[in-house]
A and B are shown apart, each in its own frame.
Chain A
Amino acid sequence: MKTVLYVAGEELALEYHQHGDSDAVYDLVWNGQAQPPAHVIAIRDDTITLLVDGRPLHAYVVRDGDRSLISIEGRTYEFNHTPPRHARARQRGTSGSFEPEIRSPMPGKILDVKVVAGEVVAEGQTLVLLEAMKMENALAAEGQARVASIHVADGDLVELGQILVELEPIEAE
């Protein structure tokens, strides 16, 4: 069997073949590289117990539409099963990334728009103050940029994902 999984635009190829006559031992090829065989100890409705590289692991698995969410040892892994519709190879929080559209991370109320169109902002500079879940949340620029446009005003109620501010990157000198 071969599956391809997608993480934030990255493609991960996994081949898994049953090892000889064994029901529960799999030979693995991970992104073209052979891996030590894995033992599949048990598959249940929402959990799988594996022995990977000799180490027993208990995985909680949930399928939500096209994505699979897996929790192992308190850490969450998320994969998509089909390629992303928009080939935006962007990963949040990694160096070199830049998100030009500042969207509301949750429904809430705009308390204060701290910038004006055309203004040059520094990395980490607060653009908008959003009140949600009883707290003030500062939404900041991820890098140096120029404010291209502003779509909200003080007091506006905003929805999850609504575009608040658009930025355009400035090349570092």
Chain B
Amino acid sequence: MAQQNDSQTINDVRQQALVEYFSKKVGRRVFILTESFPFMFIGKIINVVDDSIELFVQTTSVPALEGKTWFVHTDAIEVFYIETGVDAKIPDLKD
């Protein structure tokens, strides 16, 4: 669990916790919605770099942007879901 020190605000703690959570899920599939274009990412978490997530993106709303590595800033993630291997899977989307 992210430890809070005196200079950190609660916002910092939560942001850090989210980054740490993603760090633990490297290798798993993730679904992310952002308000900004291209709105949706489905892909595999490759790494977490500072507060950005490195993804290999399988699907977005734009086919031309797929099959590439993307970095998504955690602060911009509106909602997400990371497959656990036990609970529901993110569907495989096929054209």
* Same complex: no
Could you tell me which B residues sit within 8 Å of A by CB distance?
Answer: none
